[in-house]
Chain A
Amino acid sequence: MYNPNNKHIKDRSELFVEQAPSAIAMFDREIRYLAASQEWLKDYNLEGQDIIGKSHYDVFKNIGQEWKDIHQESLRGAIKKKQEDSFTTNDGSTQWITWDVRPWYTEKNEIGGILMYTADITSIKKKEHLLSRYQELLEKTNEVASIGTWEVDLKNGTVTWSKVTRDIHEAEEGFTPSIESGINFYKEGESRDLVSKQFQACIDKKETFDLELEIVTAKGNHKWIRTIGIPEIENNEVISVYGVFQDIDEKTKANKLLALQEEQFRQTFEFAANGMALVDLDGKWLQVNQSLCQIIGYPKRELSKLTFADITHPDDLEKDFRLLNQLTKGEIDSYQMEKRYFHKKGHIIWVLLSASMVKNSLGLPSHYVAQINNITERKEAQIQLQESISKLQGIQDASTQVCIIETDLNGIIKSFNRGAENLLGYSAKEMINRQSPEVIHLASEVKNRGKELSKTYGIDIQGLQTLIYQASIGHYETREWTYVRKDGSTFPVQLTVTAIKNSNNEIKGYLGMATDVSSLKRVEEEVKSLLDVTKEQNERLLNFAHIVSHNLRSHSGNLSMLTELMKMEVPEATQNPFFPLLTEASDNLKETIQHLNEVVAMSTKTNDNLHSLNLLEYIKKAQINLHASVLESETQIENNVSPSIFVQAIPAYLESIFLNLISNAIKYRSSDRPNRITIDAETKKKFVVIKFTDNGRGMNMKLHGRKLFGMYKTFHGNEDARGIGLFITKNQIEAMNGKIEVESELDKGTTFKVYLKL
C-alpha cells in the first residue's frame, strides 16, 4: 500500500535504488516493490513492466516458501545472505545468484521493509565449472599420457614427485626421493651421465633440458622416459628446478620398431629377388631395387631419369596406361599384366608386372608400387610351345593322307584331323566326343588281334583295349590294320599307337597315326609277284644252264671220244687237213663248256662260308701249279708277301684267282724283255690289298678298261686268251666281299690289285 507520509523519503530512496549499478530492489513490509534498479529489471527480465506497488510474489509466481520465510525473518530484523545459490527462473533454466536480504529502517528506527540485492553469477559459475572440468581433464590426461611432474627445491634440497612420476618410477607410495636417489634411477652409463650433466648445467647456466633417457625402475624394469627440466630463478639465482616426466617407453620402442621395420623394408626392397620399384604419378622411377636394374640392364641413376613408358614395348603401352588409369581412379586396387620391356642392350625382356597405388594421408594418389618378375624364359618357352603346337596343328590339318586321331583314356575320340576326315569319310564333328576308334576298325581283325594279345600277356584283352594295350604299357605299336570307311568300304593302313603323357609321365590319352598303305600294298604285291617271276625265270635259267652244259658236255665228250677212236682205228684219216680242225673244234667246245659250267657253278655257290686263309700259302700253291709254264716262259716271280697275313676267303676261289692272275701275267708277257712278276700284299683298313705287277704287254685302258672283266672279251689276239678268266676272277672276288682294280699301260705292264677282307 502506498503511504503518502513517507513520500519524501520514498522519493529519494527510490532514486537511489533506481540508479544503483547492481540489482537492488526495495520492498515495503508487505513485500511490494517500492523501487528497483535498472539492473534488477534487466536481471529478472522485467524491463518495460510497471512493477512498483506490485507484490514480489505476484511478479514471481514460482517463488518458494523458503524465500518467503527468509523475507519474513528479515522483516523481523535478520540479515540473510548467500554467496552462491540457484533458483529456477520462469523459463525453467537454472540461474546462479549471490544474494543479500536485509531490513530497512525508518527515521523512527522501525523496520519499514526489506532491501534485496542479487548478483547474477551464472556466467561466473559456468566458467568455474569449466575450469574444474579442465583441471580434472588435465589430470586424467596426464595420468593417461603418463606425464608426471617433479620439483627439486635447491634451498632445502627436497625433491617432490607427482603421483604419476612416482608411478613411472614404480616406487612405493611413501617413497621420498632425494637428488641423489632420483638421479640413481637413471640407467648407469650414458643415461645417468647425461642427466647429471644437464641437471648441473640447469643449475649453473640456467639451461632448460629436455632429454629422452632410460631408467631402471624400483622394480628393476628398464624404461624409456622423457624428462624436461626448467630452472626457477629468483634474484638471478636458481632456487629450484621443476619439470615434467613422461613415460615414453612404448612410444620409443614403437619408434625403434618402426625404424627397424623401415630398415627391414628397405633391405627387403633393395635385395628382393624380384624387381621392385616406386613410380611417381608421372611414371618416373622414384626408387628401384637391384633386381630390377639387373632385369632391364639399366643402372639406378640412369633409370631415375626415365619413365616406365620409355622402356616399355609400344604394343604393351596402351594396355598398361589403361590399367594404370583405372588404378588411379580407384576403379581397381591393383593390376597384373605380362608386358615387354626393352633391355638397355635392346632385346626384349618379358616381365610379369604387379602394380598397386599408395595414397597419402589425405587419401590422394601418392605413388605406385610395382613388382616386376622376369618371365622371359618362361615366356619364350611358352611362345616356342605355342609355335610347336600350332606347327603340330598345322601338320595335323595339312596332312590329308595321314589319319591322326587322339583319344582320351577311355578311348573317346578327342581329335580327328583332316586326313582322317578325308580318308574315312566321317566328319570330325560326328566323331569327337562321340565315338571310339573301334568304329573305324574291322571287327574281325580286332577280335583276332585281341586273342593274340590275350595269349601274349595272359590277360583278357578285347575291344578298344586291343588297340591301346601295347601303348598303355609303354610300347610303340606299329602294325597293319584294315580301316572301315563310313560307306563300309575298307582300305589297309599302317597304324602306330602311342600314349600321350603329361609332364608327370602319366598317360592322358592315346594318339593313333595311320597311313593309307593301299598303294604301298599294291606295289608290294607287284614286287612280290615280280620277284616270283624272276625267281622262276632264274630257276629256269639255271636249269637251262645245267641242261645245256650237261648235254653239250655229253656231245662234246662223244666228239672227242670219236676223234680219239678215229685216230686209233683210221690213222690215215689224221692226214686229212680236216682232221686237226675237227680235233681243235672239239677241244674248243670242251673248254667253252668247261667255262660255262664254272660260271653256272659260281653264281650258285656265293653263300659258302668264308674261312680265314693264309695268303702266302695260297700264292705258293698257285706258283707250284704253274711251275711248268713259269719255267718254260722263263718268268721270274718276286713274292714279297708276309707269311702272317690271313684273308677271309673261299679256298677254291682263292686258288683259282691266284692261278688266273699269275697265268695271265705269263700268257701276256712281252717278247721284248724277260718276264717278271712282283707280288706284294699290305693291309689297308679292313682289307688286304694284294698287288700282282708284271712287265708284260699291258693294254690300252682307254680302249679296253670297261670290257676287261666282261664275259668272253679278249684283247690280245693271243691263241690262249680265254677272256672268261677275268670275269670269273672278278665275280669270285666280289662273292667274297672284295674288289679288284687294274692299272695298265700298253707295252709297260699291268698291275692288278685284289682287295680281300682281313
Chain B
Amino acid sequence: MKKIDIACIIDDDPIFVFGAKRMMELADFCNGFMVFQDGRKALDGLSAIVASGNNLPELILLDLNMPVMDGWQFLDEFTKIKIDKKITLYIVSSSIDSEDFNKAETYEVVSNYIVKPITMDALKDILEDF
C-alpha cells in the first residue's frame, strides 16, 4: 500500500476537516495536509504553489457546497491551470442529488464521488486505487 505525500482538503466545514484529518492520521494515509476553507482560497493557494514550483498535493478532496467559490467553480478554474504533476481529485459531498453525480462525471479530472460521511473503508479504497 502506497502512502500519499500531501493530501489537500477543500471544505468549509471545520468538523468534517477535523474528522477527515483524524481519520487519515489514524489510517496513516498521508505525510502532510493542506486545507482550504473555500474554492477561491484553494485556487489562489494552489496557483501560488504552482508558480513557486513548490510541492503540489497528490490528492485533493473537494467539497461542492462552499461559500465564495463552490466546488464546481473551483473545478472550472483549476482545470485551466497547467500542471505537470498528476493530481487525483475526489469530490466529497453530502449531496446525493443525481444531477451532481452526473455533473461530476463530465469532469475528466474527477476520479470519484464520495458521499459523506467519509469512513475508514473509503480512505482504504482510495489508497488502493492510488
Contact = CB atoms under 8 A, between A and B. Distances in A.
A553 B97 CA distance: 12
B118 A561 contact: yes
Interface in A525-583: 546, 550-551, 553-554, 556-562, 564-565, 568-569
A553 B26 CA distance: 24
A494 interface: no
B13 A558 contact: yes
B69 to A, nearest CB: 18
A597 interface: yes
A597 B94 CA distance: 12
Nearest to B118: A561
B96 to A, nearest CB: 6
B16 A561 contact: yes
Contacts of A554: 13, 16, 65, 94, 116
B65 A569 contact: no
B22 A565 contact: yes
B118 A597 contact: no
A558 B96 contact: no
A551 B96 CA distance: 12
A558 B95 contact: no
A561 B19 contact: yes
A561 B26 contact: no
Interface in B52-86: 65
Contacts of A562: 15, 19
B48 interface: no
B49 interface: no
Contact of B26 (A557, A560, A569): A569
A597 B96 CA distance: 8
Given A550-B95, A564-B119, A558 B16 contact: yes
A553 B22 contact: no
B45 interface: no
B65 A561 contact: no
A374 B12 CA distance: 101
Q: How large is the interface on B (under 10, 10 to 19, 20 to 34, 35 or more residues)?
A: 10 to 19
Name A's interface SS: helix
Which of A556, A559, A565 gathers most chain B CB within 10 Å? A565
A589 to B, nearest CB: 12
A553 B16 contact: no
A553 B19 contact: no
A558 B15 contact: yes
Nearest to A560: B117
Interface string B95-113: 1111000000000000000
Nearest to B16: A558
Nearest to B19: A561
A99 B84 CA distance: 190
A564 B120 contact: yes
B30 interface: no
A565 B23 contact: yes
A557 B98 CA distance: 18
Interface string B5-45: 00000000101100110110010000000000000000000
Contacts of B96: 553, 597
B126 to A, nearest CB: 15
Contacts of B120: 564, 568
Given A553-B116, A561-B119, A569 B22 contact: yes
A421 to B, nearest CB: 61
A537 B119 CA distance: 38
B29 to A, nearest CB: 14
Contacts of A569: 22, 26
Contacts of A556: 117
Which of B16, B98, B117, B120 gathers most chain A CB within 10 Å? B117
Interface of A: 546, 550-551, 553-554, 556-562, 564-565, 568-569, 597, 601
Given A553-B95, A561-B116, 11 more contacts: A550-B94, A554-B13, A554-B65, A554-B94, A557-B116, A558-B13, A558-B15, A561-B20, A561-B119, A565-B23, A601-B97
25 contacts: A546-B97, A550-B65, A551-B94, A553-B96, A554-B16, A554-B94, A554-B116, A556-B117, A557-B94, A557-B116, A558-B16, A558-B19, A560-B117, A561-B16, A561-B116, A561-B119, A562-B15, A564-B117, A564-B120, A565-B26, A568-B26, A569-B22, A569-B26, A597-B96, A601-B97
Lowest 6 CB-CB distances: which A-B pairs, in order? A557-B117, A557-B116, A561-B117, A553-B94, A554-B94, A561-B19
Interface of B: 13, 15-16, 19-20, 22-23, 26, 65, 94-98, 116-120
